Structure 1
């Protein structure tokens, strides 16, 4: 249960019908559904929410702007959920155009909000000393006060402001301030798992255009898409244009009046100059010869020159030749055609403005007869908006580690490439590139070195790619090269594709330098041609992926092209998965039991072995279907059925003399054991069936030890406290590590049957068996030999000191009722 602080700030967040609604509410519920959280809304004012969050009375609060003061008592997510800015909304009977119009005005603002601090600083910076800041407990209260005339304006974020302004009859002003990033926050030092989960989903969804993130933004009509100029900027530009035209018309009329009105004209011009100088935009006027006749204060700052050094000059004297020529062409077009031009341009004229982006509007000025006598330009700095859009685009379509295109961009380009192939019949190919044994290097050297290797691999592969091709990273150690326009000749296209693939393979011959040490790594590449997939991108990727796995199966460090036999294998796997789902639904599985005996032939335990009773194919052993169950995830449901059936059998045996104390071992797959609910599921099944946990043994394979060892040990210890025993199956064939072995809470080692089979003929196998027995003895672990099929094998094992056995020599797997209590030695 998560207590979430909610203050009224639609459409970002508010409570509706007892649930959190708005952008943040929908995002939170989308994440909560995936994480299994229950969300409890806690309604409060902004100030109260912050206080209760600080005191730990609520667990999470959305829609919080980061600042250093809050960071002292709050922890923030690393990924902002929204980007926004703040605006001023005025009573319709009050005129507010610039910051200087706020002199003597009363401005309502949410108490203790970031807008309050930012607004006070902005008024101070502009020298506005007599404006009154009125802190209020809620934004609805602020808008109601403004509508009634008790205050003149309200400062708030544009998400809430645009909606509330329409509801209360307020008007938006051209004053925009405080670009902000909005986060989820928790009390300092607590609930970091909540932030990590939220960051995980935001990190995935923000880079995926079809994700819940963008569907929620679209629903609330707040989506951040392609580059756009905020409406307030256009209103500002329009208002400035209107003011400027009015000013020029007024000046022109006054010049024609009698000399007695000169003083009044000078006063009016001074007022207009103050207005234009206070506007947050660069304004200039050029005559018909394109000489500057007027510049406001912002334009002088942009050009880094006094107005005296600008007036009367042309752009040739102020800019480099290329920029001046471009401006001359644009200005001539405005003067000749009479059209208004809108241009996006980079900051020029001042080295300190390098990297700034301006939206410049140039329009003609006409006299009373309609003749164009000058042009006026207004340039608005929208660098922040431009950079935010570029950052969103980068996150959405490029891998943050390597800078390569990500899956979304690759899929888009692949669709276009297949469309081009359908029209022009120029072949293309897709190469699926996977590093060999990357996980071993990553686990050995650490993830930091693994990431560095991926960066070096991306750089090396990128140096070999043609300009028209696309090299992308899908994730992990998987890269994809999309090759286009290979011509219409199939043989030539195959040869070209293979040549490029060989070049990529050869590039790995040179070692990679990591932390001053040289490391060698190879790669396996699978290739598929456009001609084989029609217009289906998913099929193209699937075939290249299958070819890559074929290259790995053939020994790695190879190139393999997709073969029709792979498709047949894929179809067979799909059919097998369908049949497995039916087997789970109709309970076509059963358990056989193989005896485990001691040296005297006494039954000391049994192992439960899965069989599939297929309605048409008869009894099927696990070797033919367990791999598909693992890869499809069906092993979770099958494993739960095995555990339940085995526990029910233990209950049955507990009522039969000779079997009441018999232990039963059950194999557990890596995927099943690593499932988050595994421990809870086992304990639930034991409780529900009434089985004695001390009679249940779980057999783990060494592949389980290859990942997340700490979590593995934690789960084993949790189950062992209830009496459950653990065996390490197939010992010596997998991820053997003595340092891990001594940490595991094991009871038994099982010698793999591959060592037992050649025990009498291969001295190496005999040595391995002796070593495992000695290791088990030193670690106080029981050791049992699997796959014992002959008396000679049993006798040899006895001489080595092995006293527990399992194999066909003692009994084949069969139904529970055929399990003997004693066998002949």
Structure 2
């Protein structure tokens, strides 16, 4: 490493080791990377020659120029920001670069200050005597000893040497520079890339070694606003000072300076146009008065087209409103505003996020006449932040929430469940035989299976659930807001688990070939964990192990009581499916009587006697049929058997005039082929539809009333009757009733049971009877079990009766023989 004495940026200590800001930075990187640094001392011009010739491997503290870029390799992220300044004796008058006229100027031989000032002196035709030196300290001693009048140096070492030699710093600042490490051309690109990586990461962290080194050498660099923004402000101020000086010279040398002024303006414009920031000036009416090239590139118009226009000509309305609010604050209150802005052009496209600095411009009287804005595009930085967030909280393979995000959401879900009282559940899903697939077909096939499994698990989710990847082949589904009824919550969790098992058991198509997989699921309810995420996961893991022990491709609850209930429900589902497929169900009939104890109708009631479970109550197997989806084929079986009964009754005088009532579930009614199935049954059996009555409940009236009425009218047009079952327990209103093509109302047995002891029940029955009479509907009382109940119902003008007092449900053969 080449080292020339330029404290505090670069120097060697008493032992000959590298030191200074850039020396310490490189030493810190070398320590972390295991590099060995050998110090080679040289003066500046020799250092440059050696790096170009490859005599040394790396040289710090090099400002970028086009000439140097062709002779040596630079990295991307600047190590330091620097500017240059003029220094002289305390009685030396230096207010602008033009005061160098007839001065002896000491500079470091081969430095950027020398090349810059030589160009400026030539353009302004100044008479300057050059005093080049091999090192910076010698340049300052030349002024102190009277061999030179002025010295040009970077501000880091300049302030130190000026103080030591009793020199003063002038207000003339110029040449803001970015300082880099360089290597010989075509060599050590890996070293430069490593430096870029450390500098980029350290500059983002206020507590990094980079800022600790700056503080060690008493150097402060802005951490919230990018450093080059300050250089832009300095450039603008310097430009304004330069313009004032030029205006004075114009009075004396108009003919000669005119051309130079235009050249200077061109160079200033070139500088501002080359700055990687949007720079603009707006007047009091928020019209653009100046824009640099980067603003033109953003808006897609030339400077002439933009000048005089406002933001409304270029940006969408929301962007204009945000920009206007900040502009007005600057122009009306003189406030200096620094904020983050997002802009979107009128034609759409990519939204740009920038850090914006807006400050007022004042005239000689202090009045605000415009504002100057400098905006730095940080869209790439924000995108990087989003990518980091994605990496921190989402699994890169499946793009699902990772363990960290899952646990956070699960904790919040438990807290919400605790405050709301609503139940929830987690489903821990493990892919069966995943390790075998990895071992036999490779990790690529395993990754492909994980992606497909994640896609399947995510199908059909509505946004209230959280699905994520918990570990290698384990996924977690969090179900929230399942309500306060435990049975409903357990049924929903069971249904979700079975749906997932079915999805995961479908064949997979992998690049390595087809694969038949499955999964095991462990289910835990929130209430089992008592608010602890760790407990919940442990219990889910135990339930998952139980599912695997049970043969895999199955589910298990942690709570043994729930698991027993689920197992019983699963057994009942399977047995009911076998009974339906084997035609092992039965229809029993219960008669309906009029006031003269004459049978005018029968209600068909489904009965099931299982070989293993014996007689199973409808109260047990009907809910199972509803939750498993078997209620539709079950209802179709009942309808088919009912029509066959009606067809058989046509040959018996005692039965041929009877109406047969069949209960219809909401799910069956809303099935798209419900009407077609009834038409098919009537056509195959040849019955008269007038003897078929469909009993519906008030739950049908809650959703999609118009569709319900249309279907009922269609069936009513065929001659089929309708009865509203369990009337008084649901949600039917009088407005609905008058629109429904009903033949009768059935008073629910809960009102009949306590009719003789509860005045409220008597009042309800009386009201329903009166309502039926006013709507011209037959009113049938269900659950009549005693003579006293019958007599009281008759006194209330009830017309028909059904219940154990008149006859219990029995097979059709019994009633055929009895009647």
* Class of the TM-score when normalised by the shorter of the 2 chains: 0.3 to 0.5
TM-score using structure 1 length = 0.42
TM-score using structure 2 length = 0.42
